[in-house]
Chains A and B, each alone.
Chain A
C-alpha cells in the first residue's frame, strides 16, 4: 500500500506525435515530483504540452519515453486494464468541458465511478449525496447537466472526480469555460480540497487559479521553464486575489 511521499513522480518523460518531418514533441524530457497534499499549478501558452502532461500523469496516454510513477508504482508499463483499475481508485479527472454524461442526473453522474469500482448501488448513492452536499449542489441532485449552469456542472464534475477518494485530482483548465462567479465557486472548492490534504495538479491559463497553488510550474514547448514554490497560504484571501472583494 502507498505510504507518505511523492504521489506522482516523472522521470525523463517524452511524448511525441507523428513522425519524420511532422514529428511533434508535445512533452520533452520532463522530470517532476508531486508530494502528497500539494496543489500544483501548471501554466503555459496553448499547445505547450500541459494537457498532454496531465494525460500522461493520469495514464490516459503513454509516454514515448521516460517513466511515470503514481503512488510508488510505475504506470507507463501497465496494461490498459491495469491502468483503468488504477484510475478507478487513485485518480480523479476534472475537464474544461466538464464531460458529464448528458443523459444522467447530477447524482447519477457522481455515482458512476463508485458503481464502476464495484460499490453497491446504495453505497454509491449515499456517497454521491455526501459529495453533492460538499460541493453545494444537494438541491440539484436530480437535475440533468443541461439544466445546470457551467459552474454547477463543473462542481458536479469535481464531486464525481472525488467519488472514489482518489490520491490525486487532475484538473485540465477547470475554469476555462466559467464566468467569474463560477470560477470563484470552483476555486473555493479547490482551496477546501487543498486544506483537506487532497493532492491536486491543475493545468490552467488562469493566473487566479495558479495564485492559490502551493507550487507553480511553467511550461513552454513541452519543457518546464520555471518551477516556483509559492510562499505562504492564500487561504482566506481568495476573494481578494481574484479581485472580487467588496
Chain B
C-alpha cells in the first residue's frame, strides 16, 4: 500500500509540474482513440439503427410498388394481401412525384397519401409535433433537416401551402435522399424527400399531371423470408399469372432497404479507421518527442530515486504509471467523445432513430490496447535506458548521448551558418528528424486525400440541390474533420519536436553563441533542422495520399498546383511554427545556460 501511495504521489507531483506536457499527451491519444472508436462503430451501425427504427415504427417486411393507379395495378397489389406468409398489410397507398418549396428552397419530393390513423404496418414515429391531419403536412426528419424546416413552417406542394404539423421517421422508405425508392413509371429515382399528407389533401396532385406510384406495405410471418416472396407470388412474378402480364411490381424487402440505408456510410468507415491510424501515428510521434525531450530530466530523476534506495521495479512503476494512466484517461475521453459524436456520424440524414448507440465492448478493448500501446511504445525505451544507467551517471550524464554523423558534419562545413547548424542538429538526433519527416508525410497524406475527394465531381440529384450527394457530403465532412485533427496534432508535434530539439541543443547552441553565432542564426538553425526533413516528408506524403484514395475507374485528379500548394504550405507552416519556439529558446542567457551545464 505504501509503495502504491508513493508511486501515486510521485506521478501526481510530476503531472502537476508539467501540465502542458500532460495536456499534449491527453490531446494526442484522445484524438486517436476517438477517431478509432468512431471508425469501429461504423461497422453495422446503420443496420442497427434501421432495426431499431423498424421495431419502433412497425416497419414493413416488404414494400411492393407499382407505377400508376389503374385498377389492374391496385388489384395486383391487393392480391399480395392474401399471399402465403403475409400476416398484415397497410395500403395500398400512393406517392406523387412533385416539387416542394420550403423556406425559399425547392426540392424533389414524393408526397404520400396517408391515413389519419396509420394502419397496422408502418406507423411512422412522430419525433415532434403530431401526425397528419387534413390541411397539415408531416415531413420525414431527414428531409426536414435538409430543408432546414421545422414545425410551423410552410411547404408548398402543387401551388397549395401546408403548415408542417409534424416531423416523423419511418423504416418503410429508404433514408433521405432515397425516399422515392423507385422513380416515375418504375424507372430510376432522381432522389428526393418524403412528405405525408392526408389522403384528401393529395387530390390537388391527382388533378394535375404528377407521376404516381402505388404501393402496399406487407408484414410476413417470417420476416427472414421477405426476399423469397417475389418467387412465390404471381403479382410480383407476372410470368406465373397471365392476369398480371401488363403489371410491373417492384419489390423491396426490408433487408434491401437496410442495405441501401447503409450506402451513405460505405466510405465513412475506411475514412475514420485509416484516419485513426494516421492519428495514432501522430500520437506516437508526439509522445515520443515529448518522452525524448524529458529523457534527460527523467534520467536524473531515476538517479535521485536510485540514490535514495528505490528498487528498479518501483522506478519503472513511477516512470510508466504516469504515461499509462494518462493513456487510459485519454482512452476514456476518446470513447466519450465518440459516444457523443456517433449519432451525427452514423445517421447523417437523421432519417433513423439513434437511441441505443455507443462503443461496443470490442471497440473499447481495441482503443484501450491502442492507447496503452502508444504510451508503452514511446516510454519503454527511455524507461529501460534510465533503469540500466548507473546512479552516478544518471545524475550527471545526458540521458541519450548525441550521435555523430561525420559525413553530415563535413558536408555542413561547406554551407551557410543556419544550414551548418541545422544539419549538425539533425546529425545529433537523426531519429528525431525522421520522426518529423514522418509527421509531415502523415499530414500530407490526409491533406492530399482531402484534395482528391474534393476534386471529384459531385453526383447530384436533379432538382434537389440540398440533397446533392449526401453521401459525398458525408465523406467530405468526415475527411475534413479527420484532416483538421491531423493538422492540429501535426502542429503540436512540430512545436514539441522543435522545442525538445532546442532544449536538448541548448548547451551546444550556447557554445555556438560564445563562438559568435547570432541569435538569428541559431533560430534559423533550429528551424532548418525541422525544415530539411519537411521537404522529403511532404514529397512522400502526396503520392501516398493519392494512392490511398485512388480507386480503379474514372477518377478526377486534383490540379497539380493544389498538391504543390499543399507541400509548399507545409514547408512555410513549419518555418513559422519552428521559428516561434526557436526564438523563445534563444532568449535564455548564454551565461546562464553554460553555468547550468557546468553545475
A residues apposed to B, CB below 8 Å:
51-52, 55, 58, 60-61, 80-81, 84-85, 87-89, 93, 95-97, 99-105, 108, 111-113, 115-118, 121, 124-125, 144, 160, 163-164
Contacts and interface: CB of A to CB of B under 8 A. Distances in A.
5 contacts: A52-B591, A60-B590, A80-B519, A101-B508, A112-B512
Given A84-B513, A108-B409, 6 more contacts: A55-B591, A84-B517, A99-B510, A99-B511, A99-B514, A103-B403
A57 to B, nearest CB: 11
A164 B514 CA distance: 12
A198 to B, nearest CB: 17
A236 to B, nearest CB: 33
Contacts of B515: 87-88, 93, 112-113, 116, 160, 163
A60 B516 CA distance: 11
A58 B514 contact: yes
B594 interface: yes
A124 B512 CA distance: 15
Nearest to B398: A102
Contact of B517 (A108, A116, A121, A160): A116
B3 interface: no
A240 B413 CA distance: 44
A242 to B, nearest CB: 24
B413 A111 contact: yes
A87 B510 CA distance: 13
A129 to B, nearest CB: 14
B518 A84 contact: yes
B438 to A, nearest CB: 23
SS class, residues of chain B in contact with chain A: helix
Contacts of B520: 81
A89 B402 CA distance: 29
Contacts of A80: 518-519
A163 B511 CA distance: 14
A101 B511 contact: yes
Contacts of A117: 516
Interface in B463-519: 507-508, 510-519
B428 A103 contact: yes
Nearest to A170: B514
B207 interface: no
B404 A95 contact: no
A205 to B, nearest CB: 14
Contacts of B521: 84, 116
B589 interface: yes
Contacts of A124: 413
Of residues B401, B510, B521, B590, which shows the largest number of chain A Cβ atoms within 10 Å of its Cβ?
B590
A84 B409 contact: no
B589 A85 contact: no
Contacts of A87: 513-516
Interface string B555-599: 000000000000000000000000000000000011100110110
Chain B interface size band reads 35 or more
B516 A103 contact: no
Nearest to B599: A97
Contacts of B25: none
Highest count of chain A CB atoms <10 Å: which of B406, B420, B507, B511:
B511
Nearest to B413: A121
B392 to A, nearest CB: 16
A211 B163 CA distance: 105
Contact of B597 (A51, A85, A97, A118): A97
Contacts of A113: 515-516
Contacts of B513: 84, 87
A-B pairs, top 8 by smallest CB distance, nearest first, are A88-B516, A97-B598, A84-B518, A121-B413, A55-B591, A113-B515, A103-B404, A60-B591
B518 A85 contact: yes
Nearest to B414: A121
Given A95-B598, A102-B402, A115 B519 contact: no
Given A115-B420, A116-B512, A144 B404 contact: yes
A104 B428 CA distance: 10
A115 B409 contact: no
A51 B518 contact: no
A59 B403 CA distance: 31
Counting chain B CB atoms within 10 Å of each CB, the highest count among A51, A95, A99 belongs to A99
A95 B403 CA distance: 23
Given A97-B597, A103-B427, A115 B413 contact: yes
B417 interface: yes
A60 B589 contact: yes
Contacts of A95: 594, 598
Given A60-B589, A60-B590, A102-B401, A81 B428 contact: no
B402 A84 contact: no
Contact of A103 (B402, B410, B512, B595): B402
Listed residue (B406, B417, B510, B515) with the most chain A CB atoms within 10 angstroms of its CB = B515
A193 B512 CA distance: 23
A83 B5 CA distance: 52
Contacts of B516: 84-85, 87-89, 113, 116-117, 164
Given A101-B511, A160-B515, A61 B404 contact: no
Contacts of A85: 516, 518
Given A99-B594, A99-B597, A60 B420 contact: no
Contact of B519 (A55, A84, A112, A160): A84
A43 B489 CA distance: 53
B175 to A, nearest CB: 62
Contacts of B518: 80-81, 84-85
